[in-house]
Amino acid sequence: MRTPQGLVSTPVLHPALIESASAAIPVIAVQGQNWSIAAARFGSLAEQFAKAQDYSGKDGTCLCLPDSNGQIIAVLFGLGEGTSEDGVFAAGRLPQLLPAGQYRLDSGWPDPEMAVLAFVLGSYRFKRYKQNNEQPRQLVVPDGVDGHSVSAIAKAVFMGRDLINTPANDMGPQDIEDAACALADQFCAKLCVIRGDDLLEANYPMIHAVGRASTRAPRLIDLVWGQANHPKVTLIGKGVAFDTGGLNIKPDASMLLMKKDMGGAATALAAASMIMAANLPVRLRVLIPAVENAISGSAFRPGDVLASRKGLSVEIGNTDAEGRLILADALCLADEDKPELVMQYATLTGAARVALGPDLPPFYTKNDALAEQIMQLGRKVHDPVWRLPLWNRYRTMLDSRIADINHVSSGGFAGSITAALFLDRFCEQAKDYVHFDIFGWTPTARPGRSEGGEPQAARLTLALLQARYGH
């Protein structure tokens, strides 16, 4: 394999960022009543204007101050008093609030790097089917902030969002493979893909069974990057291009958003992009089982017993619990490599949403110290997650009368936990294994997060690997 060193394309700034601009308008972060002091810096006219507008410096609000010619001389932006969870990430609102133009961060920003990242992430638009010719809002990269690393993170997040937002007619298993291939090319990684009936030959029976009903062939995508002697880190992402539920067909409302069921794959690819761009000293592997859970005469059925790569026989309780089946075969392959760390992302259960809502994906690991580190880093980088337990008592809910294991529990209790417990059976040799049950979607826009696809836990993953393996 070629080494990535020196071959990575020259970094470029994201279009929402600029190196410098002499006429950039200052944006001042204000908290509570100190807005009036900030406004006074720009003359009594500006201060009077702010008063007349009844500006209060409230969280996430902004006010453009005029000079005597009616031009914008400065912008006040309310960071609030720590009442909102968003903090500095609230700067992600700025691209929506500000008129087109060039801006720079002025005083009052406790974490300029996070503010710049939030600003760029807040500038995202999904443009594949609808051009918008809006003039850009641009931010000058402040001294001491690495605009290129912010740009690499934003580029990866935008790729993840685009992949999720693209509907299934244009985002089938082949398109997911193409995305992985483009990423491999960009960073000189090695890509290997097993498709269609070759999956049977190569012993991935469950990936084949779930994907075989679709006219678009299932596949296992395997990307490898980095030096062989570096610590092995494997990312796995659920790549269900569309989830009809299979023969246990989903009702209309539940099926509507199922283009996002490859959100785990998008997250794994986004995280991989960040890791490779940062040139972290890891031997990275990305495994994506990519299938369409479709309905046809060849569909797998409730009651079927499938073979698995691991050798366990798996009784099918519900064809709509397809994600854990394809992941189990991929996880088993990951495990054979005895990696240091396996990170797995999947839009796996509706139950995770019932428990924690759309913004806070649950995750599972047996390592308490690692769990603590992940929770803290998630908070720090505004990519929050919450640990749920691999509750041993519930393992018996997966007992099957006729097979080694059932992939769903009969009672319907603890759906996210039992899915995690099922997957846990397929991982034995990896030193650490972390499974994220993500939503992959922002139902209503929030600072730095536009409505639509979101590769949740990708930025957190970069932060974790930087903390563990960073130079």
Task: List active site positions.
Answer: 250, 324
Choose between 162 and 320: whose C-beta lies nearer to Mn ion: 320
C-alpha span between 303 and 320 (Å, rounded)? 13
Choose between 10 and 444: whose C-beta lies nearer to ligand BES: 444
C-alpha span between 50 and 30 (Å, rounded)? 13
Q: How far is the CB of 268 from Mn ion (least distance, A)?
A: 18
- Site size toward Zn ion, by CB under 5 A: 4
Q: How far is the CB of 163 from ligand BES (least distance, A)?
A: 16
The answer to whether 47 contacts Zn ion (rule: CB under 5 A) is: no
Using CB under 5 A, which residues numbered 280 to 339 contact Mn ion? 320, 322
165 binds, among ligand BES, Mn ion, Zn ion, none (CB under 5 to 8 A by kind): none
The residue whose Cβ lies closest to Zn ion is 243
Would you tell me the crossing angle of helices 263-277 and 173-186 to the nearest 10 degrees?
Answer: 0
Fill in the amino acid letter for 69.
N
Among 86, 243, 383, 424, which residue sits at the site for Mn ion (rule: CB under 5 A)?
Answer: 243
Choose between 108 and 350: whose C-beta lies nearer to Mn ion: 350
Q: How far is the CB of 448 from ligand BES (least distance, A)?
A: 22
**H helices within 237-287, ranges in order?**
252-255, 263-277
The strand order across the sheet containing 405-406 reads 305-306, 314-315, 405-406
Q: How far is the CB of 318 from ligand BES (least distance, A)?
A: 4
Kindly report each contact of residues 39-43 with a partner whose C-beta sits within 8 Å and lies 24 or more positions away, as own/partner. Answer: 39/65, 39/74, 39/76, 41/74, 42/67, 42/73, 42/74, 43/67, 43/68, 43/73
Give the burial string for 318-357 (b: 16+ CB within 10 Å, else e): ebbbbbbbbbbbbbbbbbebebbbbbbbbbbbebbbebbe
Place of tokens 């997911």: 176
Of 26-34, 242-250, 284-292, 342-350, the segment contacting Mn ion by CB under 5 A is 242-250
Q: Taking a C-beta distance cutoff of 8 angstroms, is the pair 334, 232 a contact?
A: no
Q: Taking a C-beta distance cutoff of 8 angstroms, is the pair 106, 39 a contact?
A: no
Q: How far is the CB of 168 from Zn ion (least distance, A)?
A: 12
Give the footprint of ligand BES on this chain (CB under 6 A).
Answer: 243, 261, 318, 320-323, 347-351, 353, 408, 415, 439
Q: How far is the CB of 341 from ligand BES (least distance, A)?
A: 24
Using CB under 5 A, which residues numbered 236 to 255 contact Zn ion? 240, 243
The radius of gyration computed from the CA coordinates of the chain, to the nearest angstrom, equals 24
C-alpha span between 185 and 404 (Å, rounded)? 41
- Count CB neighbours of 3 within 10 A: 10
The answer to whether 323 contacts Zn ion (rule: CB under 5 A) is: yes
Among 47, 261, 315, 424, which residue sits at the site for Zn ion (rule: CB under 5 A)?
Answer: 261
Of 4-12, 227-235, 239-247, 344-352, the segment contacting Mn ion by CB under 5 A is 239-247
State the binding string over 192-231 for Mn ion (x if CB under 5 A, else -): ----------------------------------------
Question: Where does this chain bind Mn ion (CB under 5 A)?
Answer: 243, 320, 322
